[in-house]
Amino acid sequence: MADLGYIGLGTMGGRMAVRLLANGHRVTGYNRTRARAQPLVDHGLQLAGSPRAVVEAADVTFVMVSDSAALNAVADGRDGHDGFIAGVAPGKTVIDMSTVSPALSRALAARVRERGGEMLDAPVSGSVLTLEQGKLSIMVGGDRAAFDRVRPLLEDIGPTVTYVGGNGLAVAMKIATNISVAVQMLAFAEGVALAEKSGIARDTAVGVMTRSAIGSPMLQYRGPFVLQMPDNAWFSTDMMQKDLLLALEMGRQLQVPLPTTAAANEWLTAARAMGLGERDFAAVFQALERAAGVQS
């Protein structure tokens, strides 16, 4: 049993906190919208009033927020004194599971280290379904000794934990991985739209394609979304575009052309323009079918 903290108790973070509780750990949590975290109290989570209070109560604190701005907000707090940085003391570890810019991740890790702690970046590959099935994959960047110490805690969240190198490299790996997720979904949407407009029933096309050679694990669970979108996005169009914009900026800086990423990004823009930003990013199919004149 360990004294843990979790900052950011949204769709994925909340479920990860529940897994940690189920493995017998004590967890203190914080969410900017406190009411959304209240159900976790029933699972044994202790709610704190600030990110700083979470870190002060825990030996290891996990963070999972939506983007770079949100990470800066919980790092510094409202006045620079109640963020998680202020709670860091020698021996404490912060594990950031957010997908943000590698530069920001490295900068925050340096600030944590100045206070005697360690910070790892540990974004995940997977979805709500893979998390609940116990199949989540986690990539980790930062100090190797710190990684070795907290690896058992990460394995309580997901069974596949891979150390990829120094601070910032895990989020770089996550961004590189999400390119394929978005591009696969767009290509799948194109194929379904083409098959449907040629006269094949949409559900037949989806079934054939997800059971064919192109049926990656991601397409097997997300492909059926083109038949029935979930009420709550597993990973929203807004969030996926955030990741692709991070990839495109990395590509510009590193002089790596990312042509399919750019194309997928344009269709995410189209989906957002149609009011689908908060829907799962499988909404690129809805944008594409409208352009193709396919009836929903």
**Which residues are annotated as catalytic?**
174
Structure tokens at 291: 């352009």
CA nearest to 294, candidates 199, 228, 205, 171: 199
Angle at 17 between CA 14 and CA 21, to 5 degrees: 140
Contact residues for 102 (Cβ-Cβ < 8 A; gap 6+):
121, 168, 169, 171, 172, 175, 250
CA dihedral 111, 116, 122, 123 (to 10 degrees): -30
Q: Where are the alpha helices (DSSP H) in the chain?
A: 11-22, 34-41, 51-57, 68-76, 84-87, 102-114, 128-132, 144-157, 169-197, 202-210, 217-222, 237-254, 259-273, 284-292
Q: How far apart are CA 97 and CA 6, in angstroms?
A: 10
CA-based Rg of the chain, rounded to a whole angstrom?
20
CA distances from 76 to 30, 72, 204, 261 (A): 14, 6, 51, 33
Phi (first) and psi of residue 134, to 5 degrees: 75, 30
Angle at 242 between CA 239 and CA 245, to 5 degrees: 155
